[in-house]
Structure 1
Amino acid sequence: MIATSRKPRAFAPDPDAPGRGCDIPNCPHQGEFRAPKSRSTLREFYWFCLDHVRAYNASWDFYKDMSPDEIEAELRADSAWQRPTWPLGRLGAHARMDEALEAELNAFAFGQHAKPAPQAGAPQELREALGTLELGWPVTLDEVKTRYKELAKRHHPDANHGDKGSEERLKRINLAYATLRGKLAANQARTAETVAD
């Protein structure tokens, strides 16, 4: 038994043809093949005979009269099926920004300050580190560790798509944390020795 293909030939007439003559004037053949009228009206068609649709297709240029930037934009849109797209992770970053803004507004509404200034009693060598970690004085080592973890997570380059500004900010945070940790740990050790004596 010979298998027959049910797939229509590439040049088979369109089954939705309106049953009228070719749209080329003085052509005696039926218009059985459709072709879009223009780039902006792709759902409106001319109906041509086979010879005229071949000639029309050979001369068709979708990108005619478009600038290189417009062609690039069209190609990018086609790669996503003409649907809008967003960079990966951007929506998550936007949500984090909303949470941070809400926290700032709540702090303002209840009379709290997001960045307390170091008090006058803070040692001079710790004031810059306290300002970097946004802490007031006096402060405990546990408070410093907790604040460091929050800021390190927020400003880590991996969480900010490799942003150089975040990387520099994280370096300053690390330096401030090391300064405060060293000074507070030394103070705790001195206090423990004094209590032991």
Structure 2
Amino acid sequence: MPHIDYFFSTVSPFTYLAGTRLEEIAQKHGATISYKPMDVFTLFDRTGGIRLPNRHESRKEYRLQEMRRQSRKAGLKLNLQPMFWPTNPAPSSYAIISAAKAGGGDLGGLVHAFTRACWAEEKNIAEDDVVKDILAAHGFDPNLADSGMLTAADVYANNLEEAVSRGVFGAPFYIVGEEKFWGQDRLEDLDLHLAGKI
């Protein structure tokens, strides 16, 4: 059975623009997924990336065009300048880690809901009430937002270290064995790889 390690950030617009296609691809091929939220800003610092405020204007302009095009292509509403961005990704990431450990809900839907809240619904995913509402809406105990935070914080930090050690440099990032796929626009390639075509 193939396995996908999924490194992502809940504040990444391109993680949002992946929608739930990863889950659809995994189901199609009988693959399992390990969800690994990480601090993408620190990842940039550690792997040669440049945080958005420090990028050249041409890169900033291209990013906005690409976000607009990709949102239309995916059929997903997107606010190019969301009210609560950047925000602290840790609370939503900790909730995902705790939910994965607890089980019983829709984990893929939970991940997408946090990114959608940030990029399409003008919600601050660092706020406790927002985190709890999203947990509950996807079949998880909302009190997970208040429990196991030390363990979740350790996992979150370890996810970053694992990402760096395995050659991850952006989000979303998918790894199957030694094969790496960066960006939601490489999901088609991931699908073809799992089908044995590339």
Task: Give the TM-score normalised by the residue count of structure 1.
Answer: 0.21
Task: Give the TM-score normalised by the residue count of structure 2.
Answer: 0.21
Bigger relative CO (Cα 8 Å, ≥ 6 apart): 2
Report the structure, 1 or 2, having the larger helix content.
2
* Bigger radius of gyration among the two: 1
Report the structure, 1 or 2, having the larger strand content.
2
